[in-house]
Amino acid sequence: MDKVIAIVVTYNRQFLLSQCIFALRNQTRKIDKILVINNGSTDQTESWLRSQPDIDFITQENLGGAGGFYKGIKTAFENQFTWIWLMDDDGYPKEDALEMLLQCDDEDLCLRNCTVIDKDDKKSFVWKTGKYKSIEEVKDPIIKNVAHPFNGTLLHRRIIEKVGYPNPDLFLWGDETEYFYRIIQKNKIPYYTKATSIHYHPASAYSFKNDWNFNSNWKMYYYIRNRFYILKTKFSNSRLTAFFMYLGFLLAFAGTVIIFQKTNKLRKLSFIFWPMADAFTNNCEATPASILKKISQTSPYWPFTILIYQLKSLGIMMKGMFSSNVGKLKKA
């Protein structure tokens, strides 16, 4: 019988993690192993995990969602699990979610995803799901060509054999999308959402139009930098297309800052050049701590200095733009 492992990546959300684990323990199709990747949580997560005898866990430094899922998928693959079920700690599956995913009669080389539903109203989709707004509108058991990794995503090991692992260098915001495009675009693997397999998740309330705190929102660095990695994978047959699409994204982001932001507009605009330069040169060394330190110690115009320095190294930039973003990725 095929073995199934559930991978949950967590950071400082022990209460939500316990809800997720409770739901995994009570699946109608028993899970063979639950593995938690603890990204260096500083709350009571570590001690709680040690008190759970039926859970395997790995504690590592905080490597973001990207590093967490990389470690989890690699560990599961190397331990010969057939099916790998992926989720964050802030969501949880309905009791028959896994059973419904495994009932499909299609080939193994197909990405399957739960339907991601608002955990409060139990009806609305958290993200755009085809033409639907509510699960009550869906009549077919399968919504083709729709998936929202890593929220109840089920991978067969054959997909990992073909595609490899997620890129751990992306840290967060875009790592799951880059991996998703590698699966469906570069490797032409089919995908769908199973309407009868429900994964509950908080509603997506974040908007880039809302005024964000320049001095504390380190995540924005990864959002800007990682978009180039996503586009290089999505348009893998044309790096020039990826480059110009990225420039279009940067202009649109700058326009959003100009129109909707109320504070630190100049600093936010100049900030764009730092993650942009790192994207072009494949520099993945920035950490949340180093991002916060740099933005707190520099003048409003410092990213322009970075841009000038990078333009002096145009040859390096061009090499970065059109080279493969393999990083630490290795096929199994």
pLDDT of 326 higher than 60: no
Residues 268 and 175 in one domain: no
- Separation between Cα atoms, residue 147 and residue 112, nearest integer Å: 8
Look at residue 105 in the predicted model and tell me its pLDDT.
65
Which residue bears the tokens 């990207």? 66
Whole-angstrom distance, CA of residue 83 vs CA of residue 94: 18
pLDDT digit string, tens, across residues 261-320: 999 998 899 899 899 999 999 999 999 999 999 888 766 555 555 555 555 544 555 555
Domain presence at residue 99: yes
Last-in-domain residue among 142, 173, 201: 201
Sign of CA dihedral 55, 61, 64, 67: negative
What is the pLDDT, as a whole number, of residue 109? 84
Up-side HSE of residue 182: CA atoms within 13 Å toward CB? 23
pTM: 0.89
Range of the domain at 143: 4-201
Please tell me whether residues 115 and 225 are part of one structural domain.
Answer: no
Within this chain, do residues 126 and 190 fall inside the same structural domain, yes or no? yes
| 250 and 192 in a common domain | no
* 3-class SS of residue 160: helix
> Where residue 332 falls among pLDDT bands split at 50, 70, 90?
very low
287 and 193 share one domain: no
Q: Answer whether residue 331 is part of any domain.
A: no
CATH number at residue 163: 3.90.550.60
**Structural domain total, the chain:** 2
* 25, 95 contact by CB (below 8 A): no
pLDDT at 224 over 90: yes
pLDDT tens-digit readout, 94-125: 999 999 999 876 667 899 999 999 999 999 99
The CA-to-CA distance between both ends of the chain, in Å, stands at 22
CA–CA gap between residue 121 and residue 100 (Å, rounded): 21
206 falls within a domain: no
Residue 148 in contact with residue 116, Cβ under 8 Å? yes
pLDDT tens profile 23-80? 999 999 999 999 999 999 999 999 999 999 999 999 999 999 999 999 999 999 999 9
Q: Are residues 36 and 157 in the same domain?
A: yes
Residue 166 and residue 243 share a domain: no
Q: Say how many C-beta atoms besides its own lie within 10 A of residue 30's C-beta.
A: 11
85 and 121 share a domain?
Answer: yes
Together in a domain, 64 and 186: yes
- Do 197 and 226 share a domain, yes or no? no
Residues 240 and 288 placed together within one structural domain of the fold: yes
Band the pLDDT of 228: cuts 50, 70, 90: very high
Are both 228 and 191 inside the same structural domain?
no
**Cβ–Cβ < 8 Å for 113, 168:** no
Whether the CB-CB separation of 147 and 180 falls below 8 Å is answered with yes
Choose the weakest-confidence range: 2-16, 107-121, 148-162. Answer: 107-121
Sign of the torsion angle spanned by Cα atoms 313, 319, 324, 329: negative
Domain assignment present for residue 329? The answer is no
Domain presence at residue 260: yes
Q: Is residue 211 part of a domain?
A: no
Residue 328 covered by a domain: no
Q: Which of 226, 206, 217 is nearest to 166 (CA)?
A: 226
